[in-house]
C-alpha cells in the first residue's frame, strides 16, 4: 500500500477537559475507598447497609452523568432513561414484602 | 453530522432529518437497550435480595462465624482469598482490586471518546487498547475468583455438620444452595457482558486502526461502545455493593 498522508485535522487536547475526567475518576476511587473503610470498621446493621446503598447511588450518578454524558444531554432524553427506572423501586418494595413472608412461613 | 444528508423538512418534523433529543438514532437506541439491560440486572439483584431476605441471617459475633446451610453466609467471610498467598484472611481485597481495574478501564474509555471528538486517531487507538487490556484483566480476575469459589476453601475452617467442599449449582460449603446459584448467575451474567464488551471494543478498535472512522468522518461508534462499556462498569458497582459489601 502506498504511503498516504492523512488530511484529517487533529484538534489539540483541552487540558481542562482531561483534568475533569481524571477528577471524576478520583471521586469514584475515593468513594470506593470510603466503602472499604466502612466495611471493616462499622458493625453490620441497617444503617451500614443504608450508607452503602447511598454511596453506590452516588457513584452511579457520577458514572451515568459524567462518563456516559447523560447529564449533558437534553432533558427529554434524561427523563426517558430515568423515569422508567421507577418500576425498579416498585419491584424492590414488592419482592422485599414477599421475602419477609417466605421467611415467616418457612422458618 | 458530517455524513448525514441534509433533509429539507419545512414545517413537518415527521419527515425525518431532525433529532428531537439531540442524539443520533444509534446513540438513542444504545440508551434504550441499556435501559432494558438495567431492568434485567435490577431483577437479578432484587431477586438476590428477596432470596437472601427469606433465609435466616447469622446471629452472633463475626469472629464466631462458621459456614452452615442453615443461614445466609456473611460475604466477607466467603470472599477472603487473594492469589499467590494461601491461607490468609484478606476479606474483599481481591474484589476491590477488580473494582479498581474496571473503574480505570472506564476512565480510559472516556479518554478514547474524548480523543475521538478531536479526530485524534492515535490517541483513540491508545486509550481503546488500554480499555481492552483492563477488560481482559477483569475477566482473568473473575476466572480466578470463580475457580477458587468452586474449588472451595480449607475444610479446617468449616466447623459443625458442614462436610461439603467447594460449590456447585446444587450445593456449596458456604451456605444455602441458592447462595452459590445466585453467585454463578449474577456474576456470570455480568462477566458475559464484560466479555462481549471486550469483543465489541476490539471490533471497533480494529475499525479505528484501519482508518474507517476517518473515512466516515466521525468517531461516534467509539461513543456507542463507550456507553455500553460504562454500563458494564455501572452494573459492577451495584453487584459489588449488594453481593460483596452488604
Residue of higher predicted confidence among B224 and B161: B224
Helices (H), A1-107: 15-41, 46-62, 75-82, 86-106
Q: Which residues of B touch A51 (CB under 8 A)?
A: none
Give B48-83 pLDDT, tens digit per residue.
999 998 998 888 877 788 888 889 998 888 888 888
Q: What whole-number percentage of chain B has pLDDT above 70?
A: 91
Among A47-56, B39-48, B154-163, the least confident range: B154-163
Residue with cell 456447585: B168
Using CB atoms, pick whichever of A21, A28, A98 lies closest to residue B114: A21
Distance of CA B21 to CAs A31, A70, A81, Å? 32, 12, 12
Closest CA to B45 of B184, B186, B232, B145: B186
Q: Which of residues 95-124 of B touch A (CB under 8 A)?
A: 96, 99-100, 103-104, 106-107, 109-111, 114-115, 117-121, 123
State whether residue A95 sits within 8 Å of chain B by CB: yes
pLDDT at A59 over 90: yes
State whether residue A37 sits within 8 Å of chain B by CB: no
Q: Do A99 and B49 touch (CB under 8 A)?
A: yes
- How is chain B split into domains, by residue range? 21-51+92-245
Give A8-29 pLDDT, tens digit per residue.
788 888 899 999 999 999 999 9
Give B192-235 pLDDT, tens digit per residue.
999 999 999 999 999 999 999 999 999 999 999 999 999 999 99
Shortest CA distance from B110: residue in chain A: A67
Q: What whole-number percentage of chain B has pLDDT above 90?
A: 61
Q: Which residues of B touch A53 (CB under 8 A)?
A: 241, 246
Among B99-113, B168-182, B191-205, the least confident range: B168-182
**Per-residue exposure over B72-90, b if at least 16 CB sit within 10 Å of its own CB, e if not:** bbbbbbbbbbbeeeeeeee
Q: Which residues of B touch A91 (CB under 8 A)?
A: 42-43, 46
State whether residue B216 sits within 8 Å of chain A by CB: no
pLDDT at B1 over 70: no
State whether residue A102 sits within 8 Å of chain B by CB: yes
Distance, CA of A25 to CA of B106 (rounded, Å): 9
How confident is the model at residue A1, as a pLDDT? 47
Q: Which residues of A touch B46 (CB under 8 A)?
A: 88, 91-92, 95
Q: Which residues of A touch B55 (CB under 8 A)?
A: 103, 107
Helix axes B177-209, B121-151, angle to 10 degrees: 160
**Arithmetic mean of pLDDT over chain A:** 89
Mean pLDDT confidence for B84-97: 84
Give the model's confidence band at B161: pLDDT under 50 very low, under 70 low, under 90 confident, else very high: low
Mean pLDDT confidence for A41-65: 90
Closest CA to B113 of A45, A33, A87, A69: A69
Give A81-102 pLDDT, tens digit per residue.
999 999 999 999 999 899 899 9
CATH class name, domain B21-51+92-245: mainly alpha
Distance, CA of B191 to CA of B180 (rounded, Å): 16
Distance, CA of A53 to CA of B57 (rounded, Å): 19
pLDDT at A38 over 60: yes
**Arithmetic mean of pLDDT over chain B:** 88
pLDDT at A103 over 80: yes
Shortest CA distance from A9: residue in chain B: B119
How confident is the model at residue B118, as a pLDDT? 94
ipTM exceeding 0.85? Answer: yes
Amino acid at each position: 500500500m502506498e504511503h498516504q498522508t492523512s488530511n484529517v485535522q487533529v484538534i489539540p487536547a483541552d487540558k481542562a477537559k482531561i483534568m475533569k475526567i481524571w477528577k471524576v475518576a478520583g471521586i469514584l476511587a475515593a468513594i470506593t475507598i470510603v466503602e472499604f473503610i466502612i466495611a471493616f470498621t462499622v458493625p453490620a446493621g441497617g444503617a451500614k447497609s443504608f450508607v452503602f446503598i447511598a454511596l453506590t447511588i452516588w457513584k452511579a450518578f457520577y458514572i451515568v452523568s459524567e462518563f456516559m454524558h447523560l447529564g449533558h444531554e437534553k432533558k427529554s432524553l434524561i427523563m426517558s432513561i430515568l423515569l422508567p427506572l421507577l418500576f425498579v423501586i416498585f419491584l424492590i418494595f414488592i419482592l422485599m414484602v414477599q421475602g419477609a413472608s417466605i421467611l415467616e412461613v418457612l422458618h | 453530522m458530517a455524513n448525514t444528508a441534509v433533509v429539507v423538512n419545512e414545517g413537518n418534523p415527521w419527515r425525518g432529518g431532525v433529532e428531537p433529543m439531540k442524539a443520533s438514532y444509534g446513540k438513542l437506541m444504545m440508551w434504550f437497550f441499556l435501559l432494558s439491560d438495567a431492568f434485567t440486572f435490577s431483577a437479578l439483584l432484587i431477586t438476590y435480595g428477596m432470596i437472601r431476605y427469606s433465609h435466616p441471617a447469622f446471629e452472633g459475633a463475626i469472629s464466631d462465624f462458621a459456614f452452615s446451610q442453615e443461614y445466609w453466609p456473611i460475604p466477607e467471610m466467603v470472599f477472603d482469598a487473594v492469589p499467590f498467598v494461601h491461607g490468609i484472611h484478606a476479606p474483599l481485597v481481591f474484589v476491590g482490586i477488580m473494582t479498581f481495574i474496571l473503574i480505570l478501564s472506564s476512565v480510559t474509555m472516556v479518554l478514547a471518546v474524548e480523543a475521538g471528538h478531536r479526530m485524534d486517531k492515535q490517541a483513540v487507538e491508545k486509550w481503546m487498547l488500554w480499555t481492552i487490556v483492563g477488560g481482559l484483566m477483569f475477566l482473568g480476575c473473575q476466572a480466578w475468583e470463580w475457580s477458587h469459589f468452586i474449588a472451595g476453601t480449607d475444610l479446617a475452617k468449616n466447623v459443625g455438620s458442614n462436610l461439603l467442599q467447594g460449590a456447585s449449582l446444587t450445593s456449596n460449603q458456604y451456605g444455602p444452595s441458592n447462595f452459590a446459584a445466585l453467585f454463578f448467575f449474577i456474576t456470570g451474567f455480568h462477566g458475559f457482558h464484560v466479555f462481549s464488551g471486550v469483543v465489541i471494543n476490539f471490533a471497533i478498535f480494529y475499525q479505528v486502526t484501519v482508518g474507517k472512522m476517518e473515512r466516515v468522518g466521525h468517531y461516534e461508534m467509539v461513543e456507542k461502545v463507550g456507553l455500553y462499556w460504562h454500563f458494564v462498569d455501572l452494573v459492577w458497582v451495584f453487584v459489588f455493593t449488594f453481593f460483596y459489601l452488604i
